[in-house]
Amino acid sequence: MDRAEGILMSKREQFRYSAVSKFLQGEVSRDETAKLLQVTERTVSRIARRIEKRSFQGVTHGNRGSTPENKLPELLRSSTMKLVEDLYFDFNMTHCLEVLKREQGISITYSVFRRWCHAQHMVKRKKRRRAKARIKRVRMPRAGMLLQFDGSHHRWNGKEEWCLIAAIDDATSDIPYAEFFHSEDTLNCMTVMQRIVETKGIPYAVYVDRAGWFGGQKRQMFCQFKRACEDLGIEVIFANSAQAKGRIERAWDTIQDRLIPEMRIRNITRMPGANEYLQNEFLPNYWKRENTVIAHSLEIQYRPLPPGIDLNEIFCKKEHRTVNSDHTISWGNSKYVINSPLKYSIQKQQIELRTYQDLTWKSFFAGKPISIKPFEKPVRPQEAA
C-alpha cells in the first residue's frame, strides 16, 4: 500500500494510475494501455476521464472511506463475540448462530458471523481425513427394515467417560432410542434394544460391528445379544468396517458436536439429567426435526410384539450349568445347592440362570423356576480361630 495526496492506494491501484497517466501523456496508446491493464479501451477512457477530474482518487472506488448503509453496529459485533468467547466457544458456527437467535435474540447472517469469527480466530474446524473410494449404498425403502446399532465412548460431560448407546433407522435416519451408560456391556445394549421394541415394535434386522458383546468371530454361537434378537426373529448382520455403518458413525460426529456444548451451557453434568435432556429435548426437538428424512415407502417394517411375551425374560443373560451328583452347581466362582424339593434326581441336567438388567437373577429348570441357595461350606476349627 502507498499513500498519495492523503489517499491510501493498493499496488494494483498504483499500477493502474501509472499506466493511464502514461496514456494521458501520450507515451503509450489506448490499445497498449488496455492490454496492459487487461481491460477494454472504453474502460481505459473512463478511467482517464476520472483521473483528469479527481487525480489519484480517479482509480479508487467511489465508496472508499464511507460507511456502508447495511453495516451492523460495532456494539452488536463486540457483544456477540463476547458471548461466543465466554459461552459458545465450542459450538460450530451454524450451531452457534441457532443458539444466539434462540437464547439471545441475536439474528445476523452466516457470512457476517463467519467473518467476525475468522477475525478473532474462533472458527471450529471440521474433521478432515483422506477418504477411500466407496460405493454409496442406497437407503432401505421402509422404516424398521434395518437399524444400525452402536455405542460411542466420550467425555460427554467434560469429565467422566460415558457410553451413548443408540440405534439409527437406515431408511429415515430416525433414532428410535438412545441412552447414556457407564459402559457398553451386554445388558446395557439389551436395555436399548428392549426400549426400541417396546416403543416402535420388532425391527427386521440390526446392523452391528464385531465387538465381543454383539457376538462376532469366535463368540458368534453363544452371544447373548444375538440370542435375544433371534428369539424375537430379528436378523443380526455384522459389519466388516466402520464405513459399513456410516450412517450411525456420521451421527456420532453430529451428536458430539451439538450435544456436548448444549449440555454444558445447561450445567448438565450427571447422567440422569443428561438422559432426560437427550430423550425429551435433543432427539425430538433437534434430531427428528433437522436430520431425519421421509422413507421411500410409507409401509412400516416394524412388527408388533406378539401377546404373552415378556421382554424381560428375553433381554437378559442366559447361562447354563450342569447339575453335579450332589445336586450342586458352580456359577460365578461360587457353589450353589438346589433348594427346591425334587421327587427324582436331576444329576447331569441343565440349570438355566438368567441375569436381568437390574442385575438380579433367577434359576430355571425345564423352563420353570427352581430355587437354589449358596452352599455353606463347613468351617474348620482352626479357620474359626
45 contacts: CB under 8 Å, gap ≥ 6: 30
3, pLDDT greater than 60? no
Instruction: Looking at the chain, list the stretches that DSSP marks H as alpha helix, in order from N- to C-terminal side.
Output: 11-24, 30-37, 41-54, 74-86, 93-99, 110-119, 186-199, 224-231, 246-265, 271-277, 288-290, 381-384
Q: Mean per-residue pLDDT for 106-135?
A: 76
> How does the average pLDDT of the chain come out, rounded?
84
Domain boundaries, the chain: 2-59, 74-119, 147-290, 316-374
Statement: 147-290 belongs to CATH 3.30.420.10:
yes
Given CA atoms 203, 205, 208, 214 in this order, what sign does their dihedral have? Answer: positive
pLDDT tens-digit readout, 252-298:
999 999 999 999 999 999 999 999 999 999 999 999 999 999 999 88
Given CA atoms 229, 230, 233, 235 in this order, what sign does their dihedral have? Answer: positive
Is 11 in contact with 1 (CB distance < 8 Å)?
A: yes
Is 10 in contact with 1 (CB distance < 8 Å)?
A: yes
pLDDT tens-digit readout, 95-114:
888 988 888 888 889 988 88
pLDDT tens-digit readout, 32-57:
888 878 889 898 898 888 888 877 67
Task: Tell me the three cell numbers of residue 7.
Answer: 489517499
pTM of the model: 0.69
Q: Mean per-residue pLDDT for 309-334?
A: 90
Measuring CA to CA, which residue among 231, 227, 233, 215 is closest to residue 319? Answer: 227
221, pLDDT greater than 70? no
Q: Give the percent of the chain with pLDDT over 90.
A: 37
Measuring CA to CA, which residue among 197, 161, 191 is closest to residue 179? Answer: 191
pLDDT tens-digit readout, 357-369:
999 999 999 888 9
Is 124 in contact with 93 (CB distance < 8 Å)?
A: yes
69, pLDDT greater than 50? yes
Comparing 343 with 247, which gets the higher pLDDT?
247
